[in-house]
Amino acid sequence: MATLKDVAAAAGVSPATASRALSEPGSVATAGRERVLRAAAQLGYRVNPAARALRSGRSGHLGLVLPDLANPFFASVAKGVQARARELGRTVLVADTEEDPALELDLVARLREQVDGVILCSSRMPESQLRSHADAGRVVLVNRELDGVPSVSVDNADGVRQGLEHLRALGHRTVAYAGGPASSWSDQRRREAFAAVEGITVVDLGPGRPVAARGVAAADLALGSAATAVVAYNDLVALGVLDQLRTRGVRVPEEMSVIGFDDIPAAALVHPPLTTVTLPLREVGRRAVELVVATADADPSDPPAVVRELLGVELVVRGSTAPAAAGAARSQA
């Protein structure tokens, strides 16, 4: 493997000049610079990242910590992170916490030392622990907000608002919410948005794991209530609701409307196709990279610029929502 010294020798300059020619081309005379570049190409020179990292203190790596890679929500964010990081010439160290806060804590701690900055996605950590990491700097939160920490989130409240407006326009007056994990920041924001909407009675189906099985249970709960529509924490739950309503012989959307969140690929493939709130997840990932790179490159003595981004969401109306049945609700199952 060719080293910088080899390149310098081949180009007839000192290692320092060779280094500059490669990383600050402006600060080297044209003639020498070209000889260095040529020599580097000739020898197939590639900088040794470990040496660079040791000397400069920056690895060029970004850390991405998320609860579950197999969840399409996080996978989309990860894709956005990947894409932007690559454009910026940075590599991404990914860590899957398996939804386990203890493991998350451990992984974040370990990762911090190997990367220039960490993107912490939908953290399951309690606020106090989270703060201890975030305060050490170089952390950007995704889908969670905390005072004094940069973050990128989607506008959960507006998603709920759009969904409920849609339902209200269709004549629904009682809507059930099949919530997500109690510890979920997104779920808390959505609950608040529910509470803020007027003219609709909310039936709280309680918290639950964000999986289809939870939707199955929630569907029966909804059927036992006066609700004519169900809003689910995410599409997985909504799909479970749809499934169970079919099993119970309740027609969707005629007898019960269903709205999901996230717009995962499967949402458009089921029947009826799911009305859901689509989130700009790739863009969330991209913005998170911008933020974390900015904080990593910033002079640590500067006042930390805390940016909080909120990206817009959009209700996608498909086949799982329709006008509420006129008069009384459906016949009790």
Partner DNA sequence: TTGTAAGCGTTATCAG
Partner DNA sequence: CTGATAACGCTTACAA
Separation between Cα atoms, residue 253 and residue 275, nearest integer Å? 10
Least distance between its own copies and beta carbon 300 (Å): 13
Q: How many CB atoms lie within 10 A of CB 206?
A: 12
Q: Which is nearer to its own copies, 167 or 292 (CB)?
A: 292
What amino acid occupies position 117?
A: G
Residue 84 binds: one of DNA, its own copies, none (C-beta under 5 to 8 A by kind) = none
32: contact with DNA by CB under 7 A? yes
Q: Does 132 bind DNA (CB under 7 A)?
A: no
Q: Is position 20 an interface residue for DNA (rule: CB under 7 A)?
A: yes
Smallest distance from its own copies to CB 50, Å: 4
Nearest approach in angstroms of CB 114 to DNA is 13
CB nearer to its own copies: pick between 61 and 138: 61
Nearer to its own copies, 20 or 84 (CB): 84
Asked if 1 touches DNA (CB under 7 A), the answer is yes
Distance CA 28, CA 74 (A): 44
Strands (E), the chain: 61-66, 91-96, 117-121, 139-142, 151-154, 174-178, 201-204, 229-232, 257-262, 275-278, 308-311, 314-316
Size of the residue set binding DNA (CB under 7 A)? 28
Q: Interface with DNA includes 47 (CB under 7 A)?
A: yes
The correct pick among 52, 79, 131, 308 for binding DNA (CB under 7 A) is 52
State the angle between helix axes of 281-297 and 72-87 in degrees (0 to 180), rounded to the nearest 10.
50
Find where tokens 């909310």 sit.
Answer: 202
Q: How far apart are CA 283 and CA 280, in angstroms?
A: 5
Q: How far is the CB of 145 from its own copies (least distance, A)?
A: 25
Cα gap 157→171, rounded to integer Å: 21
Closer of 6 and 309 to DNA (Cβ): 6
54 sits near DNA (criterion: CB under 7 A):
yes
Does position 44 interact with DNA (CB under 7 A)? The reply is no
22's contact among its own copies, DNA, none, with CB below 5 to 8 A by partner kind, is: DNA
Q: Rounded to an integer, what distance in angstroms lies between the CA atom of residue 37 and that of residue 32?
A: 9
Contact assessment for residue 147 and residue 134, using Cβ atoms and an 8 Å cutoff = no
Helix H or strand E segment including 102: helix 101-112
Residues near its own copies (CB under 8 A): 46, 48-51, 53-54, 59, 61, 68-70, 72, 75-76, 78-79, 82-83, 86, 91-96, 98, 107, 110-111, 113-114, 212, 236, 239-240, 243, 246, 265-266, 268-271
Cβ atoms of residues 193 and 186 within 8 Å:
no
Instruction: Give contact residues for DNA (rule: CB under 7 A).
Output: 1, 3-5, 13-17, 19-20, 22-23, 26-29, 31-33, 45, 47-48, 51-52, 54-56
